[in-house]
Amino acid sequence: MTVQDVLSPFTAWKNLFRDPVTVRDPLTERPGAARYRGFHKNDVAECIGCGTCEAICQNAAIDMVPVDGIETKEGDSGLRPQIDYGRCCWCALCVDVCMTGSLTMSNEYTWIDSDPDAFRFVPGVDHKSWDDAELGYHRPDGHRLTPPERIVMREMDPERRIGNFEEIVDGYSVEEARAEAERCVACGLCVATCPAHMSIPDYIATIREGDYEAGLKLLYETNPFSQVCGRVCTHKCETVCAVHHEGDPIAIRWLKRHITDQVDRDRYVDIIGRPAGETGHKVAVVGAGPAGLTAAFDLARMGHAVTVFEARKHAGGMTRYGIPEYRLPYDALDADVDVIRAMGVDIKCDTPIGDKVTMTGLEKDFDTVLVAIGLHLGRSTRIPGSDHPKVAKAVDLLRAITDGETIDVPKTAVVIGGGNVAMDIARSLARLQKQIHGEVGMTVTALEDFSHFLADPEEVKESFEEGIEIFDARGPREVLVDEVGNVTGLKTWKVVSIFDDKGRFAPTYDEGDERIHVGTMVIEAIGQAADVALLGEALTEKLEWNRGRITVDADGRTSEPWLWAAGDCVNGPDVVHAVADGHRVAASMDAVLKAKELS
Amino acid sequence: MKDLTDRLGTLFSLGDITEKRDDLAFVSVAPDLLRAVITHLRDVEGFTHLVLLTAVDWIEGGQFQLTYLVHNRTRARDIGLRVFIDREEATMAGIHDLWPTAATYQRELKEMFGIDFPGSPRIDEEFILEGWTDIPPYRRDFDTKKYAEETYFHRPGRETFDPATHMKDKLYPGEAS
């Protein structure tokens, strides 16, 4: 030990009268930094209860719980995240992944309470002093854990596609589909909106895993028209996709199609599974469209003997005779029909109800009967000149094109209507015009303006690309016929309003804004009706009706105990809705048939 | 920083150079060059302060990235050295003889990533994870959620609802699927 060692502690005394470098206090205010990750805030009106925050939380700190005053509805589970701060590590992954941006963090971190359960609450519902705090962690702009942009679907160019009926959409490659599937957060909000309640997140997961056979099995559990719906479904599911709040919704329809494309068609029946043992019950189905065949598929799988009576040459109903081949190639539809046949369903085509087979006969020969006859009668505008032979119904022309009949293709034609059927006939005729006359001469006139258009936006876009002229907000007034009796065009007036104060259809026009649309043919595509004449007078009298449609209960049962009705003829046009209907009817019929066994 | 990286480039074989700011750059170097480069930076270029030593698990590429950040007090600038080592045999020469504080970082990396620094003081002693039995928790193949579920109990009274199932119960309870 040296002398310095002894003295050096005393040198500290020289600092005795200097100003302290530390801050005096305990501090009273200790604000967190501007981007501090403090207690959570949730804008519950923005939140959709998708539970992605719960799924990503590595500490299992989040529960999704029902909350008073927040309703479960399409696109919103009605659940909201409850956070257990005994487990939260404040990593903010829940904020980073939040699909709507509703979940954020305040910069508040000090809170004392003697009750441990106080630290488990629902942000935004259980009100806290920091609910209005501006500072705190928010997901930075542009920072996303899931890519917001959809993988682009490749399509044939307008120039290449206009001269033929080849399918426009290419379909995803395996890599593209996997990348698109990776964007799905598997929240399952879409399932409730899908009329058939397909297990969407589960089949998308099979794409990520590359297990297409498992995916196919899932698809056919809820939808025997999976190849069809993979191409032409109205995909309402995509409108409620959690990703659409801050990006493009997952391409659910294209992913479904991708699964069906990846599995060899010879493998389908083995993967889907064989039907159950025979029950001895006999079911008749009138109409081989999506509703009738879905019911037939389910009932055959339950072991019932199903016979389907179809008036046309081929099965498929409106999916074959209404939807053009460039949207739904016949081989995809045939493949779905083949699967249904393989389940033992006997489809009798070219067998209309009327002369040889009657409803009375079916009632006698079968235990139960389903009528699923679709909407095959085109409606007429009944404007002057609409009874001219050169004024056609869109459904009739589409059917003729499908059946390969030779039709007199005009150089110029005018379509009345603004729905998908109007686009279908305009685009089909445009292709034939291109083949026969070398150029397109199609005009579409729609009652609705473009902001209220009925046809899908992609149909409108593609129609324009193919050289079809579309005039919106035009009301048809007269089919013009020259002195020798040839159609020369359509006269329209500008539409002022379509509905009256009470919401009834009562269009009003501006007579001063008149146009003549040139065409030697006019096609009406303003809606369809069911051809109910086949029911026969006696049955028509007995059944209950509601505005021209057969009245059915939630299971599709009519007022006659042996008869069910389903599909477009009771619900209006939609493929996947018809599929859902078919399932409901099959379940209901099966229950009735089983009850018969017991009695 | 270009003056510095240029000078370093004449002496050592360098990998990628990233100029982040006027006072911050990152340089990749091979593992066996790290000690030579960092000693040169300390003794010749005035980077006398070791700011931090940390790691990233690039599991897809089968590598760990070590980042050595050093600071020059007089010029007020930082340079980071990036070193990529094999993930399976995660061993690296220590720098605790150059900066004694490095021993603490190295001990942390051993515990959290399983990267060994042979000869580093107390390298095998527990650092913060007492009684840890699983794989090192900062490795990306460590399943944090599974570990949390298995190790910690939930407070009683917790209940969660699956969104899709809840919607089925509320919106279409009777239907199939």
Q: Is B156 on the interface with A (CB under 8 A)?
A: no
- Chain-chain contact of B175 with A198 (C-beta, under 8 angstroms): no
Interface check A64 vs B, CB under 8 A: yes
- Cα dihedral B38, B43, B44, B45 sign: positive
Domain boundaries, chain B: 2-171
Residue contacts between A and B (CB atoms, under 8 Å): 92
Of B158, B163, B171, the CB nearest to A50: B163
* Whole-angstrom distance, CA of residue A567 vs CA of residue A572: 7
B173 touches chain A (CB under 8 A): no
Domain boundaries, chain A: 40-121, 158-271, 279-375+533-598, 377-528
CA distance B116 to chain A (A): 27
A93–B contact, CB cutoff 8 A = no
What is the spatial distance between Cα A75 and Cα A47, in angstroms, rounded to a whole number? 10
Give the pairing of strands A521-524 and A391-393.
parallel
CATH architecture of A158-271: Orthogonal Bundle (1.10)
- Give the minimum alpha-carbon distance from B118 to chain A in angstroms, rounded to a whole number: 33
Fold match between A158-271 and A279-375+533-598? Answer: no
In SS3 terms, A289-301 reads as CHHHHHHHHHHHH
Our CA angle for A434, A435, A438, nearest 5°, is 50
**pLDDT given at position A351:** 95
Segment B141-165 shows an average pLDDT of 88
Q: List, in order, residues 6 or more apart from A223 with CB less than 8 Å away.
A: A196, A198, A229, A294, A576, A579
CATH level 3 topology of A40-121: Alpha-Beta Plaits (3.30.70)
- Say what the ipTM of the complex is: 0.87
Question: Could you say which of A57, A63, A201 has the minimum Cβ distance to residue B159?
Answer: A63
In which order are the strands placed within the sheet that holds A391-393? A391-393, A521-524, A413-416, A442-445, A469-471
Superfamily of domain A279-375+533-598: FAD/NAD(P)-binding domain (3.50.50.60)
Contact A49 B158 (CB under 8 A): no
**Is residue B26 helix, strand or coil?**
strand
Name the closest residue on chain A to residue B146, using Cα atoms: A58
A312 Cβ contact partners less than 8 Å away, ≥ 6 residues apart: A288, A320, A321, A349, A350, A399, A403
The tokens for B67 are: 């980042």
Residue numbers of A between 207 and 246 with CB closer than 8 Å to B? 221-222
For chain A, say whether B162 makes contact (Cβ under 8 Å). yes
Q: Which residues of A touch B160 (CB under 8 A)?
A: 54, 62-65
Q: Bin B15: left if φ > 0, else alpha if -120 < ψ < 50, else beta.
A: beta
User: What would the pLDDT profile of B80-94 be if each residue is shown by its tens digit?
Assistant: 999 999 999 999 999
Cα torsion at A371, A375, A377, A381 (round to 10°)?
Answer: 140
Q: What is the pLDDT of residue B156?
A: 85
B124 at A interface, C-beta within 8 A: no
Would you mind telling me the total number of residues written for chain B in this entry?
177
User: DSSP letters along B51-103, please?
Assistant: EEEEEEEEGGGTEEEEEEEEEETTTTEEEEEEEEEESTT-B----TTT-TTHH
Cα–Cα distance for residue pair A251/A241, rounded to 1 Å: 10
Token representation of residue B128: 């913060």
Structure tokens at A71: 């309703």
Task: Give the integer Cα–Cα distance in Å for B134 and B147.
Answer: 9
Residues in A touching B164 (Cβ below 8 Å): 77, 187-189, 191-192, 201
**Which amino acid type is present at position A236?**
K
Which of B152, B157, B164 minimises the CB distance to A188? B164
> Taking the C-alpha atoms of A85, A89, A93 and A98 in order, what is their torsion angle to the nearest 10 degrees?
10
Is B163 within 8 Å of A120 when comparing Cβ atoms? Answer: no
On the 0-12 / 13-18 / 19+ scale of CB atoms within 10 A, B68 is buried
Mutate to test the interface with B, among A50, A70, A79, A584 (most CBs of B within 10 A): A79
The per-residue pLDDT for A268 is: 94
User: Which chain A residue's Cα is nearest to B162?
Assistant: A64
Could you name the CATH architecture of A377-528? Answer: 3-Layer(bba) Sandwich (3.50)
For residue A37, what are its two tokens?
A: 């990750």
- Percent of chain B with pLDDT strictly greater than 90: 86
Subunit contact B177:A587, Cβ cutoff 8 A: no
Encoded amino acid at A270, one letter = D
Nearest CA to A425 among A452, A453, A406, A444?
A444
Best of A67, A73, A77 to mutate (most B CBs within 10 Å, chain B) = A77
Whether residues B177 and A54 touch (CB distance < 8 A) is answered with no
Which pLDDT does position A3 carry in this prediction? 80
Q: What is the pLDDT of residue B176?
A: 57
Query: Would you write out chain A's pLDDT as a tens digit for each of its 599 residues?
Result: 788 788 777 777 778 888 877 777 666 777 889 999 999 999 999 999 999 999 999 889 999 999 999 999 999 999 999 999 989 999 999 999 999 999 999 999 989 999 989 999 999 999 999 999 999 999 998 899 999 999 999 999 999 999 899 999 999 999 999 999 999 999 999 999 999 999 999 999 999 999 999 999 999 999 999 999 999 999 999 999 999 999 999 999 999 999 999 999 999 999 999 898 899 999 999 999 999 999 999 999 999 999 999 999 999 999 999 999 999 999 999 999 999 999 999 999 999 998 889 999 999 999 999 999 999 899 999 999 999 999 999 999 999 999 999 999 999 999 999 999 999 999 999 999 999 999 999 999 999 999 999 999 999 999 999 999 999 999 999 999 999 999 999 999 999 999 999 989 999 999 999 999 999 999 999 999 998 899 988 899 999 998 888 999 999 999 999 999 999 999 888 899 999 999 999 999 999 999 987 77
Looking at residue A2, its pLDDT comes to 82
Q: How many residues are recorded in chain A?
A: 599
pLDDT confidence band for B155 (50 / 70 / 90): confident
Do A78 and B148 lie within an 8 Å CB cutoff? no
Distance CA A262, CA A578 (A): 25
Q: State which residue of chain B sits closest to A86, comparing Cα positions.
A: B155
Q: Is A108 on the interface with B (CB under 8 A)?
A: no
> Closest Cα partner for A51 from B81, B55, B166?
B166
CA distances from A218 to A230, A273, A355 (A): 14, 11, 41
Cα–Cα distance list, A504 to A75, A451, A487, A524 (Å): 29, 19, 32, 21
From A203, A196, A166, select the one nearest A574 (Cα to Cα): A196
A199·B177 Cβ contact <8 A:
yes
Q: Return the CATH class of domain B2-171.
A: alpha beta
Residue A412 near residue A518 (C-beta atoms within 8 A)? yes
CB < 8 Å from B in window 434-463 of A: none
Phi first, then psi, for residue A17 (nearest 5°) are -105, 15
B168, pLDDT greater than 90? yes
